[in-house]
């Protein structure tokens, strides 16, 4: 017999809802921020089953007084700290300038990483320069930290005549194999199995390079994420799997991806992978966690899964209006603060920095990015039409262009001649 049973309550679904909506007063008093070293740093060779508590705590180094302390403290010297601060500030200056360029109609799309700079800059600094990175679309700090030319990033954003990707990628979807930086894809989580496969290949060759991969918390609901986790665990791949939990996807909060039930770091435990939950706005904690995971992978102790607990300060992209779905001033009230501000205050506390030096560096980087923008715009901007030869859309698909593509290319050029006259040339 089917249908309702009179002696049972009706079934109902749970629809996750964020705590705050536009017009609400944000209150994060329920966010637990444990003391520094509430969970001590274990040995890199620890078995995942012996360190499960790390998936539910919060790895921290900088305390509320901006001091670095505890067993996770990476003990970086002042020059390294200043370099980390500069890279994060450069990332922020680059974001601000390119966001403005999009609003001016010079490109179609941009995504800022404000508030999340530590998850790309500090992680890149903790890796070897030739470790392979498989980023999502908010890790521009990796390229800037590895010294990739800013003008090349801008050329790609503008899809101009000097765009080495020839206008074939959406703005901000960089590709820089010379920096061990895999091509960004707009399809969520595809980079996860790619990173695991690359790490497996590295191990099968007996190489010493490891891989690291980033995604947002919403992407953990994708099938590719779970396939990658399975392969990483089964084959003990030398890979670091990272989730930047910034609380929001484009308009849905982390609960839609399962964040109400437990931490995202806990997802690694079901696969038998060592898992850490880290204060993503503490650059030293991020660095320490990545260094721990890198040392673990490099010594054949297997993969690590890391959740960076942070907050997306800006909209998901220039196509998004966060004011339509979340409370105002949420980032200002976020209990873990701003990574740039926290590292600045730590350096000042050490006597290795000052407010004056900070302002001078801010102005210097803003001017650098502005000057580079002018250089890039001299090569053209997206809003001014095509900048690549018309026929290049048929090239670089095969090593040698097959007959049917040659035929299609010739047909296209012939149609353009009929439309615009015999003097028209592909450009």
136-174 pLDDT tens trace: 999 999 999 999 999 999 999 999 999 999 999 999 999
What is the reported pLDDT for 203?
98
Per-residue pLDDT averaged across 84-88, rounded? 98
Q: What is the band of 249 on the pLDDT scale with cuts at 50, 70, 90?
A: confident
Phi, psi of 288 (to 5 degrees): -65, -40
**pLDDT greater than 60 at residue 216:** yes
Rg (CA), the chain: 24
Q: Parse the chain into domains and list their residue ranges.
A: 48-382, 389-420
Q: Where are the beta strands (DSSP E) in 227-330?
A: 239-245, 274-279, 304-309
Task: From 96, 90, 207, 212, select the one nearest 141 (Cα to Cα).
Answer: 90
**pLDDT greater than 70 at residue 43:** yes
CA–CA separation, 267 vs 230, rounded Å? 11
Contact 180, 203 (CB under 8 A): no
**pLDDT greater than 60 at residue 409:** yes
Highest mean pLDDT among 14-23, 242-251, 263-272: 263-272
Angle at 182 between CA 221 and CA 123, to 5 degrees: 75
- As given in the structure block, the two tokens for residue 309 are 């607990």
Task: From 159, 165, 145, 110, select the one nearest 315 (Cα to Cα).
Answer: 110
Prediction pTM value: 0.94
What is the reported pLDDT for 269?
97
CA–CA separation, 101 vs 140, rounded Å? 16
What is the reported pLDDT for 1?
53
pLDDT by residue (tens digit) across 96-144?
Answer: 999 999 999 999 999 999 999 999 999 999 999 999 999 999 999 999 9
CA–CA separation, 14 vs 311, rounded Å? 25
CATH of the domain spanning 48-382: 3.40.50.970
Partner residues linked to 213 by β-bridges: 134, 241
Per-residue pLDDT averaged across 60-78, rounded? 98
What is the reported pLDDT for 158?
96
Residue 115, number of CB atoms within 10 A of its CB: 23
**% residues pLDDT > 70 (the chain):** 99
**pLDDT greater than 80 at residue 427:** no
Partner residues linked to 59 by β-bridges: 278
Q: List Cβ neighbours of 106 (8 Å cut-off, separation of 6 or more).
A: 158, 377, 381, 382, 383
What is the reported pLDDT for 417?
86
Q: Please give the distance of CA 88 from its chain centroid, rounded to a whole number.
A: 13
Phi, psi of 214 (to 5 degrees): -120, 145
CA–CA separation, 378 vs 109, rounded Å? 19
Mean pLDDT of the chain: 95
Q: Which residue has the higher pLDDT, 198 or 388?
A: 198
CA–CA separation, 223 vs 256, rounded Å? 15
Per-residue pLDDT averaged across 188-202, rounded? 97
CA–CA separation, 52 vs 276, rounded Å? 8
């Amino acid at each position: 017999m089917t249908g309702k049973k009179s002696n049972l309550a009706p079934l109902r679904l749970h629809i996750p809802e964020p705590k705050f909506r536009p017009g609400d007063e944000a209150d994060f008093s329920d966010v637990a921020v444990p003391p520094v070293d509430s969970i001590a740093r274990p040995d890199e060779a620890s078995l995942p089953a012996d360190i499960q508590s790390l998936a539910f705590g919060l790895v921290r180094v900088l305390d509320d007084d901006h001091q670095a302390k505890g067993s996770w403290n990476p003990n970086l010297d002042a020059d390294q700290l200043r370099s980390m601060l500069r890279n994060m500030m450069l990332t922020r200056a680059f974001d601000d300038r390119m966001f403005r360029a999009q609003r001016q109609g010079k490109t179609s799309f941009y995504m800022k990483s404000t508030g999340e700079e530590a998850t790309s800059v500090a992680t890149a600094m903790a890796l070897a320069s030739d470790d392979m990175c498989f980023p999502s679309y908010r890790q521009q700090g990796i390229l800037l930290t590895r010294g990739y030319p800013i003008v090349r990033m801008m050329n790609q954003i503008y899809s101009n005549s000097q765009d080495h990707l020839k206008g074939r990628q959406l703005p901000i979807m960089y590709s820089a194999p010379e920096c061990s930086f895999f091509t960004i894809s707009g399809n969520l989580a595809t980079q996860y199995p790619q990173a695991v496969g690359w790490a497996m290949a590295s191990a099968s060759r007996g190489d010493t390079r490891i891989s690291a991969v980033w995604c947002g918390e919403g992407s953990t609901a994708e099938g590719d994420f779970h396939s990658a986790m399975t392969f990483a665990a089964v084959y003990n791949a030398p890979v670091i799997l990272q989730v930047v939990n910034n609380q929001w996807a484009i308009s849905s909060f982390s609960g839609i991806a399962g964040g109400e039930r437990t931490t995202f770091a806990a997802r690694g435990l079901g696969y038998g992978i060592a898992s850490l939950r880290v204060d993503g706005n503490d650059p030293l904690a991020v660095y320490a966690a990545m260094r721990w995971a890198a040392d673990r992978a490099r010594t054949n102790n297997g993969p690590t899964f890391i959740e960076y607990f942070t907050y997306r300060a800006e909209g998901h992209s220039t196509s998004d209006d966060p004011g339509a779905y979340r409370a105002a001033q949420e980032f200002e009230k976020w209990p873990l603060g701003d990574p740039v501000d926290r590292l600045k205050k730590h350096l000042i506390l050490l006597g290795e920095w000052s407010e004056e030096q900070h302002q001078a560096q801010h102005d210097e980087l803003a001017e650098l990015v502005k000057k580079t923008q002018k250089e890039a715009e001299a090569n053209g901007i997206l809003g001014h039409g095509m900048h690549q030869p018309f026929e290049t859309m048929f090239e670089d698909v095969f090593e040698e262009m097959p007959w049917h593509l040659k035929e299609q290319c010739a047909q296209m050029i012939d149609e353009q001649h009929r439309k615009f006259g015999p003097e028209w040339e592909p450009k």
